[in-house]
Amino acid sequence: MSAPLSHLVTVSGRDGPGIAEHLFQALGAQGVDVRDVEQIRIHGRLLLCVEVVGLVSPERDSVRGDLASRLAADNVEVSITPLASAEDPRERDRFLVTVLAPEVTTSTLAGVTGRIALCGGNIERIVRLAAFPVHSFEFSVAGGDLDQLRRALADEAVRREVDIAVQVDGLHRRAKHLIVLDADSTLLQGEVIDLLAEQCGCGAQVAAITEAAMAGEIDFEQALRQRVQLLAGLDSSALDKVRQSLLLTPGARTLVRTLKRLGYETAVVSGGFSQLIEPLVKELEIDHLAANELEMKDGALTGGLRGPIVDRAGKAEALIRFAAAAGVPRSRTIAVGDGANDLDMLAAAGLGIAFNAKPLVRQAADTSLSVPFLDAILFLLGISRGDVETADQLDQAGWQ
């Protein structure tokens, strides 16, 4: 038995109160069943589409006239279009494509939409997520292949010098998540160990080892121990001075407080040092921390480390441990980092984001951000700038 013919009822015009009510009252008078609804309002203009079943095709013109007369006072246009009995588009694979850049030009939008079409994807919705601190647009795409979309749009991102992320859409996006941030050059500006090295006059030596480790040229643990050994004898007062000089990456506070308000678990997993990072983690009310511990004796650094090393493998292990403690499956974890020692953590997460990272890390991550604002991560999660500002306003008004 064939499926009943469905029709698309479209209402368009200047928006105003009561239009949806009047439409559904009119449809109710026709005795049809509503199968799907979508409404969009932009700059005072309304597009309201309703898929209905039970409308007999030969009566379409008379029904359109009846609907139009019932909505005449609303000064809108009404059309009715029969829909082919094709597959339900809701059963197709669905993806979200997010574009971020300081400026998103029309040529960029043309390039992105063209690539999506070539991959067999159909764009169902486009929304602007932000115009500050970066421009960001999100495309809802039905159909196509995830890997093909990612490859094609990665090429387009390089060509247009923008960031493009492709993710699977679904209800999981609104469920509880864990987001894990690297500290140095991600949550924080610069490398903490370089700041310590400046305090003891070995900055150039430590910076050279740091650069080699971040590029993946030498083993992280070996590089860490070499650098810490150079800090031997540094007084605890120098640690206090460095702690007070730490600078958060622009957008870090906005990112963390917004995620907390949305019920996310947050964590910092760092190859840096707990004595310096922990006070900031507590201030930001971050839920979890894993970092290395500097060994001290008589108020000075010994040049050694205490406990297990949080290295490349240790970061991934910490992500898995924190996800289990939070009751979050790995598919709903997000990791953000910039260096080679973040690679295992990025691979272990459901979504790995390279933040202003080395080429090796950008190539390995699911997506990358090259803008200097950490809160741009929110747009990859579908959280708009308007959502952020509304949450801030409610918080200031005392809403919980």
Our answer to whether residue 182 is catalytic in this structure is yes
Query: Which of 122, 97, 109, 121 is CA-nearest to residue 160?
Result: 109
Give CA separation, 232 vs 127, 301, 305, in Å: 54, 5, 11
- Count of CB atoms situated within 10 Å of the CB of 378: 23
Return the beta strands (E) in 182-299 as ranges. 265-273, 288-297
**Distances from the Cα of 211 to the Cαs of 78, 193, 336, in angstroms?**
63, 12, 19
Active site residue 61: no
The answer to whether 319 and 301 are in contact (CB under 8 A) is no
Catalytic residue selected from 74, 163, 184, 366: 184
Considering the candidates 15, 74, 163, 182, report the single residue annotated as catalytic.
Answer: 182
Interaxial angle between packed helices 60-70 and 19-30, expressed in degrees from 0 to 180 and rounded to the nearest 10:
140
- Beta-sheet pairing, 76-83 with 6-14: antiparallel
Residues 6+ apart with CB under 8 A from 101: 108, 134, 135, 160, 161, 162, 163, 371
Structure tokens belonging to residue 370: 């090259």
**Beta strands in the chain, from DSSP E residues, in sequence order:** 6-14, 33-42, 45-53, 76-83, 94-101, 122-130, 135-142, 163-168, 178-181, 265-273, 288-297, 300-306, 333-337, 351-355, 367-369
Provide the token pair at 399: 């809403």
Q: Are 30 and 66 in contact (CB under 8 A)?
A: yes
In sequence order, what DSSP letters do the residues of 142-170 get, joined into one string?
ESS-HHHHHHHHHHHHHHHT-EEEEEE-S
- Is 388 within 8 Å of 260 (Cβ atoms)? no
Known catalytic residues are: 182, 184
